[in-house]
Amino acid sequence: MSSCTIPPPVPHIYPHGYPTRGGQRFDERICSVTPPPTVPARLTAAEASARYAEFTVVDVRTPGEYVGGRLPGALNVPLDRLGEAASALAAAAARGPLLIVCASGARSARGCEQLVALGVEAATLEGGTGGWAAAGLPVERPSGAVARWPMDRQVRLAAGALVLVGFLAGLVWPPAHWLSGLVGAGLFFSGATGTCGMAVLLARLPYNRPPKDARPFEETLARLASA
């Protein structure tokens, strides 16, 4: 029996009922189609705070950003490693809702889209950790931790510096203007695809890498899978 409701056939179009194909009626074929992934939920800081105990909180910033301050109990799975953590995140989502966070909400939104495409439901925190702290909500910050610049700010600084260098160098050697053009093309590609090669490169710098005493990524996956 069909598990969804399809209107009955219009008599003058289908006088003998819905047609069949391969022994299956039209309404049965429609009901057997897998529904498309749902749109990730977006929660404000107040909404997330009211339900905070329900969530497994996943911070998709770089390890360097994460150690500078994070939501209480958040586990660090950098955005570029979400694919590696898909099975562990699916296990965590089976136990309760996931809340994905970053600095401003942009990376967490992209992370949620990736997870939904993999069949893992998740919600993104609007405004990120910045909005959470601005709302007066608690932030975990280990003693001696130094706040790092958010990745989007690092990208803007690096891109702006390269464009400026290309422009100034081009005044002396015109072909150097190509540097500014290449950076502009990269930013256009980033905006069109939602990916950022410069952010991937910057994430590999020592400044953004985890400190020596940070929890190993494998341990984070184990906690997600079994917590």
Q: What is the pLDDT of residues 145-176, one digit of tens each?
A: 667 778 788 888 899 999 999 999 999 999 99
Q: Assign 215 a pLDDT band (cuts: 50, 70, 90).
A: confident
pLDDT at residue 29 above 80?
A: no
pLDDT at residue 17 above 80?
A: no
Would you state the structure tokens that stand for residue 213, as one six-digit string?
Answer: 């005493």
The 10s digit of each residue's pLDDT in 87-129 is 999 999 999 999 999 999 999 999 999 999 888 999 999 999 9
pLDDT at residue 15 above 70?
A: no
For the segment 123-138, the average pLDDT, to the nearest whole number, is: 96
For the segment 171-182, the average pLDDT, to the nearest whole number, is: 94
pLDDT at residue 190 above 70?
A: yes
pLDDT at residue 2 above 50?
A: no
Residue 153, pLDDT score? 81
The 10s digit of each residue's pLDDT in 67-78 is 889 999 999 999
Domains of the chain: 1-35 (no CATH), 41-148+211-226 (3.40.250.10), 151-195 (no CATH)
- Number of residues in the chain: 227
Q: What residues act catalytically?
A: 102
Strand 24-25 and strand 20-21: pairing? antiparallel
Q: Assign 199 a pLDDT band (cuts: 50, 70, 90).
A: confident
The 10s digit of each residue's pLDDT in 34-58 is 454 455 689 999 999 999 999 999 9
Residue 149, pLDDT score? 79
For the segment 191-196, the average pLDDT, to the nearest whole number, is: 80
Nearest to 26 by CA among 41, 16, 40: 16
Residue 131, pLDDT score? 96
**214: part of which helix (H) or strand (E)?**
none
Q: How many CA atoms lie within 13 A of 22 on its CB side?
A: 3
* pLDDT mean across residues, the chain: 84
Query: Distance (Å, rounded) from C-alpha 66 to C-alpha 103?
Result: 9
Query: Distance (Å, rounded) from C-alpha 120 to C-alpha 98?
Result: 9
For the segment 23-34, the average pLDDT, to the nearest whole number, is: 56
pLDDT at residue 177 above 70?
A: yes
More confident residue, 113 or 144: 113
Query: Looking up tokens 């803007």, which residue turns up?
Result: 156
Contact 78, 62 (CB under 8 A): yes
Strand 123-125 and strand 98-101: pairing? parallel
Q: Assign 144 a pLDDT band (cuts: 50, 70, 90).
A: low
In 30-147, at which residue ranges do the beta strands (DSSP E only) sit? 41-43, 56-59, 75-76, 98-101, 123-125
